[in-house]
Structure 1
Amino acid sequence: MEDDFPIDHDEKVLLSLGYKQEFKREFSLWTSFCVSFAVLGLLPSFASTLFYGMGYAGTAGMVWGWIIAMIFIQCVALSLAELCSSMPTSGGLYYASAVLAPPGWGPVASWATGWSSWIGQVTGAPSVNYSAAAMILAARSITDPNYVQTKWELFLLTTFLMLVQSCISSMPTRWIAMFNSLGSSFNMVVVIIVIILIPAATTTDPKFAPSRQVWGTIGNGTDFPNGIAILMSFISVMWAMSGFDAPFHLSEECAIADVASPRAIVLTSAIGGIFGWVLQVVVAYTVVDIGAVIASDLGQPWATYLLQVLPQKAALATLALTIIASFSMGQGCMVAASRVTYAYARDGCFPLSRFWRKVNRHTKTPVNAVWFNCTIGVLLCLLIFAGEIAILAIFSVGAIACFVAFTIPISLRVFFVGSRFRRGPWHLGNFGKPIGAAAVAFVVLMVPILCLPPLIGSNLNSVNMNWTCLVYGGPMLIALLWFAIDARKWYKGPRVNVKHAMIGQVIKDLGREV
């Protein structure tokens, strides 16, 4: 491997993309995978989104929905990995959009991709920590039946978790890599433990539901037809799997990034998909009362489910493991989001970008970007005071924002560049275009589906309304209006190297053709 890739290979690749090396390359294939797997956080992701997967379509929606969605999500991951091998930079998605867009469209393509990706990234940590805080308070409710949680306690606990994770994310890269390696290993071990523990320790009689019921009964919890309900339940798998792009954003800190980073993306999606589906099957076969789980007097469906199927001590132990895994996941989200913020600030996408793009001279990490994201995350957590439906909207927003950002450069690669695409050492060969087309079609279908409210007509009100359109569409509309009114005059996209941008024609910059 060292003969094929000299020591300065990564720096040369990065320079060819228009950037100088600023980070230490202390991530490997394994540690990059660890960060992205920690961001996935299968068990806490499943626990956080159980309301959607089980509540919208029942057990059949859980087991079939995960399989169907994962096929297309794997297409997205494969296409993204190919782009990562070609352009291994922290800017990732928005850099690729700028390079692949037709002449004159690079700035707006990268602007839209960057803002959508950032919205998805910045909602990751607060949504995970909100769920972790809810599980902690649910555990207290289990041990103290007289305890009644308040919104202030939930908000302050969520904020505390984010502050601790921000401190960890401000450390030197080697410490972050070590922490995430331990966290990812813990996540993998915990998933396996829970998959084995629940069937073995369940106290229900019978222990398992009939297969015909599990695979064939759609418990439609919406006012839409069964098919739409199953599609709506995809939010659980899409949100759970939306972190597989983390190696792309960490590629400037990874050795042999144009090979290791795309491999980490594919490994994360594949392994996460398999283990996630097995966990879905276990829960689908053992759940007793879906209605009680969704209603959740404890304020957290996963905690209610565990009490249904396990003795109290075993349920509390499993809940504790989930909380620890959630913390690791939240910290991984914080790291990935800070690298995205750094990359976009480096090219002037944010107000005060000069400040947010600074790399701390002691830790060699983007500390300012970490705390900028933490501040935004705490502000998002104020949605807790607007009610459960409002704060839960950040899950839909995270899924939509991330997958829209994934899809823009993939669609440009498939429909506008085609065979002229400059491949990296890791690529899909002749399968690149059909796999990319399937990925784009899936996301185009799912974006409006994920914006649908579960109830319609006279049943729809402000309490059960799906506010995803507002929470995601509002900031995106503001960003696009900003570009149309002002940013288009000065924002020319990332600093693309001319040679790399030669896809079919020579481009002087992203704004005009020479």
Structure 2
Amino acid sequence: MNSTMTSESSKKDIKIINLEPRASTEEGSIELHNMASNLRSIISKTGAGEVNYINASKSVNDNQLLAEIGYKQELKRQFSTLQVFGIAFSIMGLLPSIASVMGTGISGGSVSFVWGWFIASFFILLVGISMAENASAIPTAGGLYYWTYYYAPKGYKEVFSFIIGCSNSLALVAGLCSIDYGLAEEIMAAVVVTYDGDFNITDGRLYAVFLASVIVMALCTSMASGVIARLQNISIVSNLFIIVLLFIALPVGTKHKRGTFNDASFIFGGFENFSDWNGGWQFCLTGFMPAVWTIGSFDSCVHQSEEAKDAKKSVPVGIIGSISACWILGWLIIICLMACIDPQLENVLDTQYGFPMAQLIYDSLGKKWTIAFLSLMAFCQFLMGCSICTAISRQIWAFSRDDGLPFSKYIKQVHNSVPFFAILAACVSSLVLGLLCLIDATAANALFSLAVAGNYLAWCTPTLLRLTSGRDIFRPGPFYLGKVLSPIVSWIGVLYEVFIIIMEMFPSQQHGINKTNMNYACVIGPGIWFLAWIYYLLYKKKYYHGPKTNLSDEEYSDMVGIDVIDGILEQKEP
């Protein structure tokens, strides 16, 4: 170490050996002495903002940057940029997801579905851009709760970080419930079509299919990272194939069956209000929510950061690319559906198949094509579930690594570079939450709404803190919009997220609210956050102290290099 860069007091306390990991020289190798008390006190404060040394734009490789963040490499980096994009694109599962939310979309008429999707997707892209900036600066599997800790003001770091970690974890689990129940509905709808409506879908049968789906997904996601990465390639191809097939088959079938399509005035201007809300609010409720429910979980790219190659660049590309692709492709799909749908929307909403998309395809293509499409959508939905199960397990594993969850000492264990216990915890949690769906549809909807509210809170909090209390310590990574444009985009995104959290808790109708049509998301969402706060104060405060390093002093010095150590010591000097 250059003596001119280090104070005399620093030299008494710390000496470095082999700090340059890429080129060991005689000048850069001196004896390590009493390093434990110094480096450990520095790297244990990772994320605190007191010692700001994470600089992604200057890091040489992924392992060095991860060491600066405070962790050692435990998982294998097998995900290419395309595969990081693929995990988010797979979870969004465009056509199966649109099929699942179609009932909500058309309850406001075609104009609400078409233009609501377009507008909401634009704002979601702004949210994704802000998240991409955060991920480019600090790419770690914990992501959201880590950034919250990093940018939060003193005295609130631990509690804010804990609440966000719990919210993000539960939201992802609820997302898996939502995807797997959608899968179960698609499978059961195919059975009903096969038996020409002479089949009764019970809650028990639905849960049995849901249970089997979760178990199979647990087995699939327990494979090596390389296999999971290649699975994203299959998912990308499968989702694009079914979309292209829809674009070809549905118009041809509609033209053959009906002889004509719905005109542009119906597609882009046909508004119907099936509720007692005013037209403007109903447009938001029915138009925005399909996009919100579909174009979500793009934070999955963040949770794959420690398995991504060149994470500071590939993760932002995955986030922004997946949102953009789903925005445009989803809009074209909806236009196609509205061109081919029965203009009497009540006939599609009140279908005997329990699935509006099944009715739409049946009207245009008949029984065999309907079964084929539902089967293909179910396959894509299964791949969606595998991808989100992977993302959940990485978030749970990262949070447990910092002792944020019960049984953390078991969940954070990694075997053959795979966090098996985290995968098991994710699937068991999903099965437990899924039991709420046996109560009734109201409980199921509230559960699925938790995926939206919990994720949006987890997404907006670190960005809000970065714009306020953490603005002086933010060091941008390779992806950054600049000092002028970045705050504008981020503030718009934060305001939109707050709006969605509030809107998502409104009931579907204004008057006559009772226990069957009440939207319990307004209870479950804030209730989860409040209980997380209480749990932290009464118990977890003793054990959770924010992100903590799992590097030894020697591992840290070997990975980060002499330049980083010099920079840390300079910041430590008065």
Which residue does 1:224 correspond to in 2?
277
* Residues 65 and 231 in structure 1, CA contact (< 8 A), matched pair in contact too: yes
* Residues 150 and 470 in structure 2, CA contact (< 8 A), matched pair in contact too: no
- Name the SS of the counterpart of 2:477 in structure 1: coil
Which residue does 2:193 correspond to in 1?
142
* Residues 190 and 321 in structure 1, CA contact (< 8 A), matched pair in contact too: yes
Trace 1:34-183 onto structure 2 (pairs within 5 A). 34-55=86-107, 57-145=108-196, 146-183=198-235
TM-score normalised by the chain length of structure 1: 0.92
2:530 pairs, out of 477, 483, 502, with 477
Alpha-carbon shift at residue 295 of structure 1 (Å): 2.5
Q: Render the CA deviation track for 1:405-446: whole Å, top value 9, x for unaligned.
A: 110011111233336421011211131100000100101111
Which residue does 2:374 correspond to in 1?
319
* Paired amino acid for 2:358: A
1:357 pairs, out of 412, 418, 421, with 412
Which residue does 2:31 correspond to in 1?
none
Which residue does 1:455 correspond to in 2?
509
Distance 1:204 1:87 in 2: 54
Larger mean Cα displacement after TM superposition, 263-272 or 106-115: 106-115
* Paired amino acid for 2:309: A
Alpha-carbon shift at residue 383 of structure 1 (Å): 2.2
- Name the SS of the counterpart of 2:258 in structure 1: coil
Q: Render the CA deviation track for 1:56-92: whole Å, top value 9, x for unaligned.
A: x211111110111011100000000010010110001
* Residues 169 and 392 in structure 2, CA contact (< 8 A), matched pair in contact too: yes
Aligned pair in 2 of structure 1 residues 66, 419: CA closer, same or farther (>3 Å)? Answer: farther
Which residue does 1:262 correspond to in 2?
316
Which residue does 1:436 correspond to in 2?
490
Which residue does 2:78 correspond to in 1?
26
* Residues 231 and 446 in structure 1, CA contact (< 8 A), matched pair in contact too: no
Which residue does 2:296 correspond to in 1?
242
Distance 2:183 2:465 in 1: 38
Which residue does 1:511 correspond to in 2?
none
Which residue does 1:305 correspond to in 2?
360
* Residues 220 and 229 in structure 1, CA contact (< 8 A), matched pair in contact too: yes
**Paired residues, what number?**
500
Larger mean Cα displacement after TM superposition, 332-341 or 236-245: 236-245
Distance 2:226 2:571 in 1: 40
Alpha-carbon shift at residue 476 of structure 1 (Å): 2.1
* Paired amino acid for 2:86: C
- Name the SS of the counterpart of 1:337 in structure 2: helix
Larger mean Cα displacement after TM superposition, 222-231 or 70-79: 222-231
* Residues 199 and 207 in structure 1, CA contact (< 8 A), matched pair in contact too: no
Trace 1:474-513 onto structure 2 (pairs within 5 A). 474-495=527-548
Distance 2:511 2:354 in 1: 27
Which residue does 2:461 correspond to in 1?
408
* Paired amino acid for 2:139: P
* Residues 59 and 65 in structure 2, CA contact (< 8 A), matched pair in contact too: no
Distance 1:471 1:294 in 2: 28
Aligned pair in 2 of structure 1 residues 13, 333: CA closer, same or farther (>3 Å)? Answer: same
* Residues 436 and 447 in structure 2, CA contact (< 8 A), matched pair in contact too: no
Aligned pair in 2 of structure 1 residues 212, 391: CA closer, same or farther (>3 Å)? Answer: same
* Residues 141 and 298 in structure 1, CA contact (< 8 A), matched pair in contact too: yes
Distance 2:435 2:389 in 1: 18
For structure 1, the residue ranges without an aligned partner over 5 or more in a row are 509-513
Distance 2:173 2:333 in 1: 27
Which residue does 1:287 correspond to in 2?
341
* Paired amino acid for 1:340: Q
- Name the SS of the counterpart of 2:65 in structure 1: helix
Distance 2:80 2:410 in 1: 29
Which residue does 1:16 correspond to in 2?
68
Which residue does 2:236 correspond to in 1?
184
Q: Render the CA deviation track for 1:170-193: whole Å, top value 9, x for unaligned.
A: 111011111222122211221222
Q: Render the CA deviation track for 1:380-416: whole Å, top value 9, x for unaligned.
A: 2212321223213333221221111110011111233
* Paired amino acid for 2:320: V
Alpha-carbon shift at residue 314 of structure 1 (Å): 1.7
* Residues 86 and 424 in structure 1, CA contact (< 8 A), matched pair in contact too: yes
Alpha-carbon shift at residue 308 of structure 1 (Å): 2.4
TM-score normalised by the chain length of structure 2: 0.83
Alpha-carbon shift at residue 205 of structure 1 (Å): 2.5
Alpha-carbon shift at residue 204 of structure 1 (Å): 4.5
For structure 2, the residue ranges without an aligned partner over 5 or more in a row are 1-55, 550-555
Larger mean Cα displacement after TM superposition, 130-139 or 490-499: 490-499
Give the share of equivalent positions with the same residue, in percent: 29
- Name the SS of the counterpart of 1:31 in structure 2: helix
* Paired amino acid for 1:428: L
- Name the SS of the counterpart of 2:78 in structure 1: coil
Alpha-carbon shift at residue 284 of structure 1 (Å): 1.7
Larger mean Cα displacement after TM superposition, 378-387 or 74-83: 378-387
* Paired amino acid for 1:473: P
Aligned pair in 2 of structure 1 residues 490, 368: CA closer, same or farther (>3 Å)? Answer: closer
Alpha-carbon shift at residue 371 of structure 1 (Å): 0.9
Q: Render the CA deviation track for 1:100-149: whole Å, top value 9, x for unaligned.
A: 11122211221122111112111122211111111111111111132212
Aligned pair in 2 of structure 1 residues 462, 297: CA closer, same or farther (>3 Å)? Answer: farther
2:383 pairs, out of 312, 319, 328, with 328
